């Protein structure tokens, strides 16, 4: 992505190893093929077995490197890898102009975008925005509208053109259009409505972007049968999600896994 500053990468971490107190992961550059992703999983131990013979099956994301301003803050540690790959591939497949436009829209702050599903949909809705290159402030914008936009005939203005307050005129235009200035130029909405090409479900991700399996497999929630013991309360059995966020929520912070028995049973407690 030549016009973007850096690569789109995520540090994919083995969740089981993390729960055991060991950070085992690898930086992954997206887009990536399913075969290359499988090799990453093998290198970080996904699919291998722990000391009790239980396979390490889950992962999460410890950190990101994003070449587009504003994207980093919308991505979490539990983002789906197929969605990340879909987004990165869509950006990678753009021509130079569309990459610049996508980056400028995000730099300006896009009100329609709040998560990865919206980011993917933005790649399909770039025509909903105009960008005027080399217009970086209100004075530039006012000058552009008078001399270059074709709205006014400069010759008809005559000597009055020498007395135009371009900055004030540009400020009124920007406020009326709701436009914003970026390094690439002035961004404004065309007024067209977005089309939701991606509905957010994993089944709606095209096969060529999948790197971890089918949508049905990915949507399947894994549950654990746990005995929850809280101070001053009677122990109780609960079915809980097996993900890191769920385990951390139970103990109210970082977790530590202790294996005091020969059987494959872990005690999860505050770190």
Check residue 261 and give its pLDDT.
Answer: 62
What secondary structure, in 3-state letters, does the chain show? CCCCCCCEEEEEEEHHHHHCCCCCEEEEEECCCHHHHHHHHHHHCCCCECCCCCECCCEEEEEEECCCCCCHHHCCCCCCHHHHHHHHHHHHCCCHHHHHHHHHHHHHCCCCCCCHHHHHHHHCCHHHEEEEECCCCHHHHHHHHHHCCCCCCHHHHHHHHHHCCHHHHHHHHHHHHCCEEECCEEEEECCCCCCCCCCCCHHHCCHHHCCCCCHHHHHCCCEEEEEECCCCCCCEEEEEECCHHHHHHHHCCCEEEECCCCCCCCEEEEC
Using one digit for the tens of pLDDT, what is the confidence trace for 180-216? 999 999 999 999 999 999 999 999 999 999 999 744 4
pLDDT digits (tens, 9 = 90+) for 55-111: 999 999 999 999 998 999 999 999 999 999 999 999 999 999 999 999 999 999 888
Give the right CATH number for 128-189 from 3.30.70.20, 1.10.10.1100, 1.10.10.1190, 3.40.50.10490. 1.10.10.1190
Query: For the whole model, what pTM was predicted?
Result: 0.74
Question: In this predicted model, which residue has the larger pLDDT, 260 or 168?
Answer: 168
Domain at 8-125+197-214, CATH from 3.40.50.2000, 3.20.20.70, 3.10.20.480, 3.55.50.30: 3.10.20.480
Whether pLDDT at 127 is above 90: yes
Domain boundaries, the chain: 8-125+197-214, 128-189, 221-270
């Amino acid at each position: 992505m030549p016009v973007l500053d850096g690569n789109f990468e995520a540090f994919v971490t083995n969740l089981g190893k993390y729960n055991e107190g060991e950070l085992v992961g690898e930086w992954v550059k997206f887009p990536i093929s399913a075969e290359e992703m499988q090799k990453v999983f093998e290198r970080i131990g996904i699919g291998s077995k722990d000391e009790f013979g239980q396979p390490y099956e889950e992962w999460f994301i410890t950190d990101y490197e994003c070449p587009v301003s504003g994207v980093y803050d919308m991505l979490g540690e539990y983002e789906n890898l197929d969605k990340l790959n879909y987004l990165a591939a869509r950006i990678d497949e753009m021509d130079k102009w569309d990459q610049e436009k996508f980056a400028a829209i995000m730099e300006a702050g896009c009100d329609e975008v709040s998560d990865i599903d919206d980011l993917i949909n933005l790649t399909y809705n770039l025509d909903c925005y105009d960008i005027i290159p080399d217009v970086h402030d209100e004075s530039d914008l006012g000058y552009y509208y008078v001399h270059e936009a074709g709205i006014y005939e400069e010759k008809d203005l005559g000597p009055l053109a020498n007395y135009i307050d371009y900055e004030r005129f540009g400020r009124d235009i920007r406020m009326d259009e709701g436009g914003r200035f970026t390094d690439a130029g002035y961004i404004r909405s065309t007024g067209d409505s977005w089309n939701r090409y991606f509905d957010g479900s994993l089944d709606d991700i095209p096969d060529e972007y999948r790197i971890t399996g089918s949508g049905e497999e990915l949507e399947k929630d894994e549950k654990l049968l746990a005995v929850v013991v809280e101070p001053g309360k009677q122990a109780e059995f609960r079915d809980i999600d097996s993900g890191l966020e769920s385990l951390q929520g139970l103990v109210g912070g970082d977790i530590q896994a202790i294996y005091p028995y020969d059987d494959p049973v872990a005690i999860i407690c505050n770190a």
